[in-house]
Amino acid sequence: MAETTIKARLGKIVHRGAFRIAIYFGHQPQLQSWLKSKGCQWSRTHRCWYMDYSKESFLILKSYPAEWILPNGSKMETQVAGEESREIPPIANSEQRHPHTISSDKADHKPLNKAKIPSGLQILESVGKYWVFTMDYRQTVVRKLLAIKGVYWNKSYRAYMVIQHPKVREAVHRVLGKTDFLPEYTKPATSPKTTNLVIRIEVHRADSRMMQVHLPESIVFYDKIKRFSYSRYSKADDCYLLPAAPMVLESIRMLFEPEKVQIQLNLPKGYLQARNQPNRKQLDLSRSRSRMLDQVPPDKREVLETFIDFLLARNFSSSTVKNYSNAMIRFMRDTNREPDKMQEKEIIRYLAGIMSRGQQSASGNMMVNALKCYYRDVLKRTGWQLHLPRPKKEKKLPAVLSKEECVRIFKSVRNIKHQLILLLTYGSGLRVSETCNLRWGDIDFDTYQIHLKAAKGKKDRIVVLPLMILQSLQHYRGLQQRIQADDFVFEGQYIGEPYSSSSVQQVMRRAVAAAGISKHATVHTLRHSFATHLLESGTDIRYIQALLGHSSIKTTTIYTHLRSDKLTRIHSPLDSLKLDDQAS
Q: Above 90 in pLDDT, residue 143?
A: no
What is the C-alpha to C-alpha distance for residues 318 and 464, in angstroms, rounded to an integer? 27
Over range 143-168, report the average pLDDT.
Answer: 86
Half-sphere exposure of 122 (CA within 13 A, CB side): 19
**In the chain, where does the domain assigned CATH 3.40.1170.30 lie?**
192-272
What is the C-alpha to C-alpha distance for residues 203 and 174, in angstroms, rounded to an integer? 53
> Catalytic positions, please?
431, 456, 524, 527, 550, 559
* 90 vs 134, higher pLDDT: 134
CATH of 280-379, one of 3.40.50.300, 2.60.40.10, 1.10.150.130, 2.30.30.60: 1.10.150.130
The predicted structure's pLDDT at residue 410: 93
Write the CATH number of the domain with boundaries 192-272: 3.40.1170.30
CA 325: distance to chain centroid?
16
Say which CATH architecture domain 403-566 belongs to.
Orthogonal Bundle (1.10)
Maximum CA pair distance of the chain? 100
List the alpha helices (DSSP H) in 429-561: 432-436, 470-479, 501-514, 523-536, 541-548, 553-556
Over range 461-484, report the average pLDDT.
Answer: 83
383 pLDDT tier (thresholds 50, 70, 90): low
User: Which residues pair with residue 219 across a beta bridge?
Assistant: none
Over range 243-260, report the average pLDDT.
Answer: 83
How high is the mean pLDDT of the chain? 79
This prediction's pTM: 0.51
**In the chain, where does the domain assigned CATH 1.10.443.10 lie?**
403-566
* 181 vs 562, higher pLDDT: 181
The predicted structure's pLDDT at residue 538: 85
Q: Above 70 in pLDDT, residue 301?
A: yes
Q: Above 70 in pLDDT, residue 546?
A: yes
Q: Is 474 strand, coil or helix? A: helix
Q: How many CB atoms lie within 10 A of CB 316?
A: 18
CA geometry: angle 356, 357, 363, nearest 5 deg = 90
495 pLDDT tier (thresholds 50, 70, 90): low
* 108 vs 450, higher pLDDT: 450
User: Under 8 Å CB-to-CB from 218, ≥6 apart: which residues?
Assistant: 192, 197
- C-beta separation of 63 from 35 below 8 A: no
Q: Above 60 in pLDDT, residue 114?
A: no
565 pLDDT tier (thresholds 50, 70, 90): low
- Which amino acid is present at 415? N
372 pLDDT tier (thresholds 50, 70, 90): confident
Give 510's DSSP letter.
H
Half-sphere exposure of 200 (CA within 13 A, CB side): 10
**In the chain, where does the domain assigned CATH 1.10.150.130 lie?**
280-379
Q: Above 60 in pLDDT, residue 290?
A: yes
Over range 442-463, report the average pLDDT.
Answer: 85
Q: How many CB atoms lie within 10 A of CB 110?
A: 11
Percent of the chain with pLDDT over 70: 81
